[in-house]
Amino acid sequence: MTVDVPSSHLDILHSTGLAFVATLHHRDSGVRPQVSPTWFHWDESAGHLLISLTDRRQKYRNLRREPAVAVCLTDPANPYRYIELRGSVVAIDEDHGHRLIDRLASTYVGVSTFDHRPGDGQRLIVRIAPDSLRCFG
């Protein structure tokens, strides 16, 4: 399943806005939401949102357990223009050669190589398939 992205907001998917990614954090006392901003890449041919994580992150553990996500993608020039996307993680793969994270670093901050440190853990590609998408602003 792919979702249609209205042409009015397609630019946001190709911008350097941040993705605010909400996940579910299961704890002994119950589940609670987690949200944090991250870089993203829109894979237009697949209709998937790609984010980069390492296996040391709480968000990674959350997504391994529960693939449901919600994401806000904002226009970096106008935070009142944004996309709300809901979907599921359909794959978590190793980021071989750090291709995704280096590409994101280039797009977002103009450096050719992301400063990955060994203690950061294994660099991964999280592939999110949207099942709904709403545009605002």
Cα 69 from Cα 63, distance rounded (Å): 8
CA-closest candidate to residue 26, choices 70, 53, 64, 71: 64
Q: Label residue 73 left, alpha or beta by phi (over 0 means left) and psi (-120 to 50 means alpha).
A: beta
Nearer to a second copy, 36 or 94 (CB): 36
Cβ–Cβ < 8 Å for 22, 99: no
Cα 131 from Cα 61, distance rounded (Å): 22
Question: What is the contact mask toward a second copy in residues 4 to 23, using x (rule: CB under 8 A)?
Answer: --------------x-xxxx
135: contact with a second copy by CB under 8 A? no
Question: What is the contact mask toward a second copy in residues 89 to 128, using x (rule: CB under 8 A)?
Answer: ----------------------------------------
State which of positions 54-83 bind a second copy (CB under 8 A): 68-72, 74, 76, 79, 82
The footprint of a second copy (CB under 8 A) covers 18, 20-24, 30-37, 68-72, 74, 76, 79, 82, 84, 86
